[in-house]
Structure 1
């Protein structure tokens, strides 16, 4: 099952890509939300090979996850591949310059079940796909607006 969306951001390409590939920022956000996250490749690196393990609570159960940056093309895109509970997840982020001050941010998430319980989870998600797609699109659009605001505040 795949979710994908895109949004245009009123900020330069380099700023947008630097922001969406700031893994340390996203690590801090996950920790604030109660995820027990640990970087397994060492700190400071940005690019292919960056890896994490984590524990989080979902639907009342403690879950474990592993993820790593599988592809990283500086300034263009990156792909994170991960596994959790029999579910393989691929997350892709791509940034395209539309002009000097405007960029297009594209994100997609692909869920592939590997076990029966994961298939049941994905099946239940398919029933709510319309609602989940709208929520995903809204969150990406809000993130794009936040990036534009951060860039505007920096430029002043």
Structure 2
């Protein structure tokens, strides 16, 4: 199952990339939303190999997954791969400079079921695809607006 969203942001690509790769801020944001996030790699600098253990409640059940930064191509793309006992997936963030002060951000999220119970979960998610896609696009739009706001306050 795949979700995609694309937003144009009124900020230079370097600034947008810096915000997308501000992993400490993203960790704090996940914590505020009720997830538990634990950094598990030994890297001192942000880069490929960064990893987190994440747990969160979804559909009334606690889900646990491991997330790893698998590609970092500044300032163009970031790929995070995740896996749990039942599901795998990855998120791809692509950035394209439309002009000196405008950037297009595309975020694709793909979920891949591993076992029968996760296939059933994905099947039930497909039934609510329209609602979930709308919520995903709204969340990405909010994130893009936050980046624009930070850039405006900075300037």
Give the TM-score band, short-chain normalised: over 0.9
| TM-score, normalised with respect to structure 1 | 0.93
Residues 132/71 of structure 1: CA separation in 2 closer, same or farther (3 Å cut): same
CA apart distance, 1:34 = 2.7
Q: Paired residue for 1:63?
A: 63
Query: 1:3 offset after TM fit, Å?
Result: 0.6
- Tell me, yes or no, if the aligned pair for 1:85 and 1:118 is still in contact at 8 Å: no
Q: How many Å apart are 1:149 and its aligned residue?
A: 1.3
Give the structure 1 partner of residue 139 of structure 2: 139
Secondary structure, aligned partner of 1:96: strand
Number of residue-to-residue matches in the alignment: 155
Counterpart-to-counterpart distance in 1, 2:7 and 2:50: 26
**RMSD value, Cα:** 1.3
Question: Structure 1 stretches (4+) deviating beyond 3 angstroms?
Answer: none
Measured in 2, the distance between the counterparts of 1:45 and 1:60 equals 36
How far has the Cα of 1:35 moved from its partner?
A: 2.0
Partner of 2:151: 151
Q: Which runs of 5+ in 2 are unaligned?
A: none
TM-score of the superposed pair, with normalisation by structure 2: 0.94
Task: Deviation per CA, 1:134-155: give whole Å up to 9, x if none.
Answer: 1111111121112111111110
